Amino acid sequence: MNEIELIQGILNGNQQDFELLIKKYQPNVFRTVIGLLHNKEDAEEITQDVFIKVYQSLSSFSGKAAFSTWLYRIAVNASLNFLKKRKRAGFWVGLSDLLQIASKDKQAETVLTEKSEKAIIQKAIDGLPEKQRLAFVLAKYEELPQRQVAEILEISEGAVEQLILRAKNNLKKKLGTELEEP
Amino acid sequence: MSSEKRIHQLIEDFIQEERSTESNPFLSTRVMAAIEKQKVVSVRPLSPVWKTAVIVFGLFVAVFSGIAAGNLYQTKSDASDVVLINDNSIENFSFYTQMGNE
């Protein structure tokens, strides 16, 4: 059964078709979301929200772009919204942390975590400008062709190429100073 | 290994590790359950136009029922009541005049 038949089936009220659609695209959505959030639990929650949103707004899918492009757009927007909410919440958490006297053990643990290579790489990816980060994640985590990344981000293919190149250079610069061999 | 190659390898390893994270195999069940739950709970919300119309209609009803209630009230002005209020009709003046005559 192809995409169009699946969508038509879902619009006709066939829930089994929607379950098939979820199973087909779940790994793609999950990989994209985890590439932006770097947390399994959060990524599962957002992936679930993405499919609920897809179910609710499937009737508005015009078919101008490929279904997967439309789905990736929803996943990217949901992840960015989640990050914005977390940033807002993080401000208050940070403020309350400042007011608390942290124990020495906790401080030492934080220093160790921050110094780990994975944390440094994650921080470097998260620190990229938004468009660069999106292009990088879609190209590297999902291994999408530049044409589809361009369609998802609604920019030209040339712009995608530039964004990925800049993202790689920025990562090398950032990590070069932080992961320098002794 | 040169620094640039090492950084490239570290980034690739990081991406591969995150890519290999398995998502919940029961996600489709969870999504279907969440959709069913929403169907039961969700009450179709009023559109903003209808909300405004209902508020305006409510205000009109309140104002006009207030005016109608005000118009229904009538003050009583029967002559008998006026007589009752007049002290002269109940005051026994003859008593005072009789006292004065004593």
ipTM: 0.81
pLDDT of residue A98: 58
Chain B residues in contact with A44 (beta carbon < 8 A): 23-24, 27
Band of pLDDT at residue A29, cut at 50, 70 and 90: very high
Higher pLDDT, B6 or A97: B6
Q: What is the overall mean pLDDT for chain A?
A: 87
Residue pair A36/A137 in contact by the 8 Å Cβ criterion:
yes
Question: Scanning every residue of chain A, which has its alpha carbon at the shortest distance from the alpha carbon of B37?
Answer: A52
Chain A residues in contact with B21 (beta carbon < 8 A): 30, 34, 40, 43
Q: How far is CA B51 from CA A38, B55, B63, in A?
A: 42, 6, 19
Q: Is the pLDDT of residue A72 over 90?
A: yes
Q: Which CATH architecture has domain A1-100?
A: Orthogonal Bundle (1.10)
pLDDT of residue A13: 87
Summarize the confidence of residues A73-100 as an average pLDDT.
81
At B38, is the secondary structure helix, strand, or coil?
helix
- 3-state DSSP of chain A: CCHHHHHHHHHCCCHHHHHHHHHHHHHHHHHHHHHHHCCHHHHHHHHHHHHHHHHHHHHHCCCCCCHHHHHHHHHHHHHHHHHHHHHHHHHHHHHHHHHCCCCHHHHHHHHHHHHCHHHHHHHHHHCCCHHHHHHHHHHHCCCCCHHHHHHHHCCCHHHHHHHHHHHHHHHHHHHHHHCCCC
Chain B residues in contact with A117 (beta carbon < 8 A): 10
Tokens of B50: 């209808």
Higher pLDDT, A19 or B45: A19
CATH class of A101-182: mainly alpha
A91-103 tens-digit pLDDT: 666 666 656 655 5
Residue pair A27/B23 in contact by the 8 Å Cβ criterion:
yes
Q: C-alpha angle with apex A48: B45 to A43, nearest 5 degrees? A: 130
pLDDT of residue B28: 87
Min distance B54 CA to chain A CA atoms (Å): 27
Chain A residues in contact with B19 (beta carbon < 8 A): 31, 34-35, 141
Q: Which contacts qualify for A113-117: CB closer than 8 Å, 24 or more apart? A: A117/A179, A117/B10
pLDDT of residue A50: 96
Higher pLDDT, B2 or A182: B2
Domain limits, chain A: 1-100, 101-182
* Amino acid identity for residue B101 in this structure: N
Residues A164, A166: Cα–Cα separation, whole Å = 5
Q: Is the pLDDT of residue B2 over 60?
A: yes
**Cβ-defined contact of A44 to B27 (cutoff 8 Å):** yes
Q: Is the pLDDT of residue A132 over 80?
A: yes
Summarize the confidence of residues B29-57 as an average pLDDT.
84
A137-181 tens-digit pLDDT: 999 999 999 999 999 999 999 999 999 999 999 999 999 888 765
% of chain B residues with pLDDT over 70: 69
pLDDT of residue B17: 93
Give the closest of A52, A140, A180 to B31, CB-based: A52
Statement: the pTM of the whole predicted model exceeds 0.80: no
Residues A10, A60: Cα–Cα separation, whole Å = 13
Give the closest of A31, A44, A180 to B19, CB-based: A31
* Amino acid identity for residue B84 in this structure: L
Band of pLDDT at residue B7, cut at 50, 70 and 90: confident
Of A43, A42, A41, A1, the C-alpha closest to A21 is: A1
Q: Which of A25, A33, A36, A44 to mutate to test the interface with B (most CBs of B within 10 A)?
A: A44
Residue pair A44/B27 in contact by the 8 Å Cβ criterion:
yes
Q: Is the pLDDT of residue B16 over 90?
A: yes
Q: Is the pLDDT of residue B87 over 90?
A: no
Q: What is the interface size between A and B, counted as CB pairs within 8 Å?
A: 73
Helix A117-126 to helix A104-115 angle, to the nearest 10 degrees?
70
